[in-house]
Chains A and B, each alone.
Chain A
Amino acid sequence: MKLQEFTASAHNFEECMKCTICTAYCPVVPVNPRYPGPKQAGPDGERLRLKDPYFFNQALKYCLNCKRCEVVCPSGVKVADIIQSARIRYDHTPPRLRDRVLANTDFMGRLARPFAPIVNGVTSLGVTKTVLDVTFAIDRHRTFPKYSGRSFEGWLKRRAKEQAKFPKQVAYFHGCYANYNYPQLGKDFVKVMNALGIGVQLLEKEKCCGVALIANGMSQKAARNAGQNVQALQKAVDAGLTVLTTSSTCTMTLRDEYPELLKVDNASVRDSVILATRYIYQLIESGAAQLRFKENYRARIAYHMPCHLEKLGWGIFSYELLKMIPGVEFTLLDSNCCGISGTYGFKKENYEASQAIGKPLFDQIRSVNPDFVACDCETCKWQLEMSTGYTVKNPISILAEALED
């Protein structure tokens, strides 16, 4: 029936009871007056858009896709999915060059890697920053993530034989960040897994998970990546491997954004894609393996749970693992968004909002004054390091440095 077409939605907007709780918790609403807020942009707007796409509002691009609205909604409305799906469906403006550059994290990584010292040098120059700012609208305050001269994939390939010797095996979805920007994270991961008696393999072919492509209006390309990744994951799963990750956002994208936003079926692999901290925690808890830590390890750690990990509900595994390390003095930071949200905060037009969103978190970190901050997300790391001056480490790297030699 025709009526159905106008009222039914894949993302259950009909269940909204108009309580505005989502709006109360949305980090963008208080800092950006142009953003209509989750209730208006999500379920309210959806009702109108289903009647006539004319009602699509460009201001939906201000949504961070942080999913905080979904976490608090008492009715289980997939508010952020409604908003992001609307952007995919109705926004046909071609992405500008700047957004293409920011979004193609793997392509940029491959391009930049051989010239890493030059690229790093150039992007950190004041002049370059000004040029990027003026011609590209990438905010000059941002420090560009450094590119590593050697990729993690190359490093692990050279050690494939040695890794294959371990009786137990897992596959690793390293993501663009560990591959191009910070291979040390991948190496730390391998060190921890090896200490647990587990060898690490690469996926046969890993593509960027696509989160930045979705955010920048390139969902078709994201869907192509998703299709290829699901194939690669399937091969690993068929070979009996669990696929571990060290980035909370890649994990959420692979598990939830593929079916919800990109309509790519991942049902046969979804449950096998797991954040490493969760896997390790469960392994240790079941008694199947142990980690031995340095006796003299001491650290005062403040843990920031990234939005997407809060959405996954798995932050508990990361911080419980950290608490297991003897000598750790632990503080759980309040639930707040850091404001960067992937490529969002890099854009000149979002810089101020991005910093205003993160302010309560920055302030709390300063008042706790830890030795360093722990966090499972690479873009939070850039934001927090730039904005507070404190070092931010992935929990996996912390485990690696605390391991007994």
Chain B
Amino acid sequence: MRFDTVIIGGGLAGLTAGISLQEAGQKVAIVSAGQNAMHFFSGNFEEIGTARERVSALFASAGVRTHSSDGWMLMPMGSMREVSLTLDDVAVFPDKHVAEKALIVNYTGFHDFYGTFLAEALEKNGTTCRIRFVRIPEMEHLRLSPSEMRSVNIARVMDEHWEKVVSDIRVLLKDEDLILLPQVFGLKDLSVLDKIRTAFPARVAFIGTMPPSVPGIRTQMLLKRRFEVLGGTFLMGDEVTSAAMHEGIVSSVTTRNLDTARLFADHFILATGGYFSKGLVSTPTLVNEPLFGLDIDYPEDRNAWYDPDFFADQPYLNFGVKTDESLRAVKDGVPLQNLYAIGSILGNTRKADYGSAAGLAIRTAFAVADTIKGGNV
């Protein structure tokens, strides 16, 4: 099967590159072995830098609404983080003093949202907090099995029954100027977010829960759909198992499901993620990139891979595949001519040029898409 570009990995990096190339008229296939880091996404695109406007536009065409302004975001455990681009779900505050009085509302029995931590942290910044719980009959069935009181399951109920929760909160609300709710809204029906925001005389802020992330899953679904609407081929749940290379050029890759029907392309993009997604694999003695055996710099002494202080910057997070100026992946000291590496698989090797986290995924995806498009002109 022949494509212009084959992308290995369908996370934020792979999808951003895929959409950009497909928009430019390329025929693109993405192979993705299961879901990815977006399912844990906080809603904050870290280190987005100069790609801020371009990515907002790309997301908007996919129906993903973003919020582009500098400010502070309230994290699940109550800390504040500086942000510049977030999903529209996120409430961005001008400073750390978020309100005079806040009403924190949780669902009875939902343990993935930490109201008390939030209250403790907010009170340090001068916000008086009250925590209250709601329960609606439509959610009672989730209680039958204690492990099912999870964000996505609640979100599914909320897409339909959000009005009931709103009327309960109306009763609870006194003179607070801010209402904090767990981020369990708008899994399928995005309009629910605005409906809740405008339902009260106080400002509403949705605060991240423990994974899975409802806005992350929604974003992933919308991006994948956009890619497919543009005519892209998304091979979900499949996995690239090997590649054919000759004289520094990748000619095709083989997947578990398609086996003999190999995928041929002019360009290949490796977006298989970091350790979490098995784009990088570490064993007691090595760190390696399992598909192509690309070059990775890391110290031989394993003790130098990590800092025993859990909260310190961990050296292993810096390791990533080596690339040349235009992000072509390096193998045995030489860049492969048509294999590019983007996203978490780079570790912090290109931090100076492209940042890290979501910023890295998006900025490297754009850079490589531009290189490939440029080459085609």
Contact = CB atoms under 8 A, between A and B. Distances in A.
A75 B153 CA distance: 21
A74 B39 CA distance: 10
B254 interface: no
A317 B261 contact: yes
A29 B261 contact: no
A40 B148 contact: yes
Interface stretch (A30-38, A89-97, A127-135, A388-396): A30-38
Interface stretch (B63-71, B231-239, B367-375): B231-239
B167 interface: no
Interface in A17-75: 19-21, 23-24, 29-30, 33-34, 36-37, 39-40, 44, 70-75
Interface in B234-265: 235-239, 255-261
B261 A282 contact: yes
A314 interface: yes
Interface stretch (A149-157, A212-220, A305-313): A305-313
A316 interface: yes
A9 interface: no
B331 to A, nearest CB: 26
Contacts of A20: 150, 152, 211-212
Given A36-B145, A282-B260, A313-B257, A76 B236 contact: no
Contact of B141 (A21, A33, A285, A313): A33
A289 interface: no
A74 B211 contact: no
B145 A311 contact: no
Closest 7 CB pairs of A and B: A313-B257, A33-B141, A71-B237, A24-B152, A74-B34, A36-B145, A313-B238
Nearest to B40: A19
Where chain A touches its partner, the secondary structure class is: helix
Contact of A72 (B211, B237, B259): B237
B35 interface: yes
A21 B39 contact: yes
A278 B261 CA distance: 9
B147 A40 contact: yes
B236 A310 contact: yes
13 contacts: A19-B40, A20-B211, A21-B39, A23-B153, A30-B156, A33-B144, A37-B145, A40-B148, A72-B236, A73-B35, A74-B35, A285-B1, A313-B256
Contacts of A314: 257-258
A117 B356 CA distance: 68
B277 interface: yes
Contacts of A36: 144-145, 147-148
B36 A334 contact: no
A75 B258 CA distance: 20
Given A71-B236, A313-B238, A316-B233, A76 B148 contact: no
